[in-house]
Each structure stands twice: as C-alpha cells, then as structure tokens.
Amino acid sequence: MNKKTVRDIDLSGKRVLVRVDLNVPLDEGTGAISDDTRVRAVLPTIRYLIDRKARVILCSHLGRPEGKVVDELRLAPVARRLSEILGSPVEMAMDCIGPQVEEAVGRLKEGEVLLLENLRFHPEEEKNDPGFAQALARLADIYINDAFGTAHRIHASTVGVAEHLPAVAGFLMEKEIDIMDKALNDPVRPFAAIIGGAKISSKIGVLEYILERVDSLLIAGGMGSTFLKALKLDVGQSSIDKDKVGLAQWLMEKAAKKGAHLLLPSDVVVADRYAPNARTKTVPITGVPSGWYVMDIGPQTIELFAAKLRKCKTIIWNGPVGVFEFPKFSKGTQAIANLLAGLDATTIIGGGSTAEVIEEMGLVDKITHVSTGGGASLKFLEGKTLPGVAVLQDKESR
C-alpha cells in the first residue's frame, strides 16, 4: 500500500483520533456484545499507540440510528469490552463532539484511551458536513483510519476530518489493502474466485473486474439462477435479475474468449416454497420443477467446485452459494467453507455474510484473511479507489 501508516509518524504525546469500525452485533436481551471480532481486529493499532504514549481517541458508528440518539446503540458496551481486553480503563465520552468531549480529551494522559459516542447520532456524520468534520479534527493532532469496513463511505469521520489533520492508515487498514491488492494484481496461480449472493446487479462491477484476473470463476447462490436463465434453463420461481440475463450471457462469452473457466452449478437443491421447513429435493439444473425455488448447490456441484478449488493457490470468496440462513439450505456454503479451511492456498473471504459463515463455523484461524468490510470489500474487488483510503497521505517516493 502506497500510503503512510502509523509507523511513519511521530506519535509520542500526541492526541490521535482513530476511526475504527466497532459496529458489533449486540444481544437484543442483554445489550452485550455477541461477537467481538471487530473489536479484536483493531487491537494491534490501539496497542501500538498506547506503547508510544499517544493520547488515543477512538471514534466509530454502531448500527443505523439515522442521526438520532438511540440508547440501544450507545457504545458503552464496546468501551467495557475494550477495557477487559486491554487490561486498562477505556473511558466513554458522552458525545463525539463539543465542549464536554474536548474537556475529556484534555484530561487524557499519555497511553490512555477515550472512546467517543456513536458518530451517527449526528446526521452531519453521514453527510460529510464540513463543520462536523472540523469539530472532530479539533480533538486531535493526528488522524488514523483503521476502519476498512467504512472506507468506501464519504463521511465526515472517514474523509472530511482528513482534510484538517495529518492522515495515515492503521495496521488493519494496511493489512486489508495489501492482502487483497496482492491477490488481485500479483496472485500465486491458479487463481479462482467464488462469487455468490442474491443478485447479480449488486456485483456487476466485481464480476467484470475479477474476470480479467482469475483463471476460474465459480458462480452460485441467487445470482447463479440468472446465469442459468441465460442458458435458457428453467429456474422455476427463483428470483432472477431479468434485466441482467443478457449481461450474464455476455460474461460467459467473455470468459470463453479469455480462456477462463466459468463454472455454474450442475445440480441444485430446490424447495417447493421459500421457507426453512419447505419440502426439498436435489435435481440436475435441467430438471428444476416449475413453481419451485433454487435454494442451494447440490452434491455434484460441491464436488465439481471442490475439484477446481483444490488445484488453486489463491482463492477469493464473496457471497454464500445458497440460502445459508436456513439450516436446510446451508450445506453447500458450509462445504465450501470447510474445503477452503483445509487448503494449502491463500484464501480470502470478502466480508459481509460470507465472513459471518466463517465466524459462525469457527474457521477464522484456518483462513488466510477474513475481511472486516462487506461493502468496502466489494468496492475493492471492483477495482475502485476507496474514498477513506484516497485521502490518506502518500508515502514519499524514493
């Protein structure tokens, strides 16, 4: 990554504003954090700053309060969890800007940590309001963006504040960018991508960009039905992007001309209704019953995909290959996850619901990299420059 990081700047005694992604799931009953993966992901940067006697000011959003104060979306549970993990107190501010917050920052000693209240309690955050960005900037001497998961957003805390302070990347941001950039532009081959999820329309840019780089492209999930429709196959009641059938046909033709292997399901699990307890059966893709729904890939497809993936040295996966939230239709997604966890290859999970699967199955430690950003990962896989990265200071050319 050709951007400055925390290693490239003097931190001692400085007030350092760190944009982190602490948008963690909370238990509805207790309000406790049910998965602290994102909290742990930013620990290397926080500890580095503490060790260098910086005055650490963390800022994040949580949920979608839509510019209003929502008590259930306060960050106090995150402050408590951070305190437990760090073994030292993390103070919680009453707001994220204003005189009281400035006073709290002024009381910070070297090596101490303050967490600001939910940025999105203020509508100005998502509007990238200049005044709000300036108010955040007044709290600090240096800005660090370690929130890859929000780097695709043009918000005050991701873009606006960087116009007022020296801005560099944290370790998580650096790791995310470097790993995915190498996979896309200098992969160990053979290189494959598995693209799933509900709709082709949300991943057009990914499909077009990644097709130029991979040796094999495996397509399944809801979007797979659109490709099957492009082959004139009946997909029953399955949801398809009707206006993208021609695009699917064009992508298949493009793959053939390029010499890339584009694999689609050969058999599927279908259901008589879109429900967790629906009646099911496994059929070849030429035998989807009228009125039924394609819900998962079948055993032949699992083996077809596995045979291709076992030969690969770099694999990116974004999007489940079935309706994994229904246990009856999660077998395909789980099979792919278990396969990748056992391969001697660079394996990258592109965030979002695919990352949730890996985390739920306890396979995070067996995957090379599980991205913390769903939307940001998609933009990166499209070859787009992320606004929250673009505003960071470039490294000096030598």
Q: What is the pLDDT of residues 119-136, one digit of tens each?
A: 999 999 999 999 999 999
* Average pLDDT taken over every residue of the chain: 95
> How much is the pLDDT for 121?
98
Sheet of 267-271, strands arranged across: 280-284, 267-271, 293-297
Q: Checking phi first, is residue 323 left (phi over 0); if not, alpha (psi -120 to 50) or beta?
A: beta
DSSP string, 130-191: HHHHHHHHTT-SEEEE--GGGTTS--TTTTGGGGTS-EEE-HHHHHHHHHHHHHHHSPPSSE
Domains of the chain: 6-171 (3.40.50.1260), 178-381 (3.40.50.1260)
> How much is the pLDDT for 30?
84
> How much is the pLDDT for 397?
56
Is the pLDDT reported for residue 60 higher than 70?
A: yes
Q: Which of 141-145, 168-172, 238-242, 249-253 has the lowest mean pLDDT?
A: 238-242
201 pLDDT band, cuts 50/70/90, is confident
Say how far apart CA 348 and CA 193 lie, in whole Å.
9
- Nearest one of 231, 222, 224, 225 to 249, comparing CA atoms: 231
Ranges of beta strands (E only) in 24-76 are 55-59
User: Residues with catalytic annotation?
Assistant: 38, 199, 352, 375
**What pTM did the predictor assign?**
0.92
Using one digit for the tens of pLDDT, what is the confidence trace for 290-347?
999 999 999 999 999 999 999 999 999 999 999 999 999 999 999 999 999 999 999 9
Q: Checking phi first, is residue 63 left (phi over 0); if not, alpha (psi -120 to 50) or beta?
A: left
398 pLDDT band, cuts 50/70/90, is very low
Per this entry, what is the length of the chain? Answer: 398
> How much is the pLDDT for 27?
86
Using one digit for the tens of pLDDT, what is the confidence trace for 4-13?
999 999 999 9
Using one digit for the tens of pLDDT, what is the confidence trace for 7-37?
999 999 999 999 999 999 888 878 889 889 8
